[in-house]
């Protein structure tokens, strides 16, 4: 499986490449009143209005992002932009590179690739947005 490796609040994350539409430099974000806390607003990219999700807030990370890149993803025929500090690489991983962790009510998957450990953002987690 190919995944896009990116940085968010000094942490490494990855997302299946099959969901990624494009990577954009940050654009002018228009704030939406009464939106969920993790929805920063919307952007106009090539004539399409796309909601922007601050994954650091969604994942309850303590540190702020630098908002350098937008990763455009498509989930359930809906385009969403995810804020990232940086996009690192596309890597090819196998099932052996993924370790599923359960801690109490929390479940997450870690990808160990060469000297990198990244949290995998799965389709199931993307559907929660």
Contacts of 125 (CB under 8 A, 6+ apart): none
What does the chain come to in residues? 129
Q: What is the pLDDT of residues 43-53, one digit of tens each?
A: 999 999 999 99
The residues, any chain, with a CB within 8 Å of residue 96's CB and separated by 6 or more, are none
The percentage of residues in the chain with a pLDDT greater than 90, rounded to a whole number, is 60
Q: Out of 3.90.226.10, 3.40.30.10, 3.10.20.740, 2.40.50.180, select the CATH number for domain 2-126.
A: 2.40.50.180
Which pLDDT tens digit goes with each residue over 62-102?
A: 766 667 899 999 998 999 999 998 999 999 999 999 999 88
Q: Is the full-model pTM beyond 0.85?
A: yes
d(CA 37, CA 7): 21
Average pLDDT over residues 7-23: 93
């Amino acid at each position: 499986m190919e995944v896009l490796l990116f940085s968010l609040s000094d942490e490494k994350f990855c997302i299946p490449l099959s969901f990624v539409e494009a990577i954009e430099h940050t654009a002018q974000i228009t704030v939406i009143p009464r939106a969920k806390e993790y929805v920063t607003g919307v952007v106009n990219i090539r004539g399409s209005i796309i909601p922007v999700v601050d994954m650091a807030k969604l994942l309850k990370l303590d540190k702020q992002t630098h908002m350098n890149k937008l990763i455009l993803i498509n989930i359930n025929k809906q385009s969403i932009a995810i804020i990232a500090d940086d996009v690192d690489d596309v890597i090819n991983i196998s099932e052996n590179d993924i370790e599923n962790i359960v801690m109490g009510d929390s479940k997450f998957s870690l990808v160990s690739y060469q000297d990198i450990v990244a949290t995998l953002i799965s389709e199931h987690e993307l559907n929660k947005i």
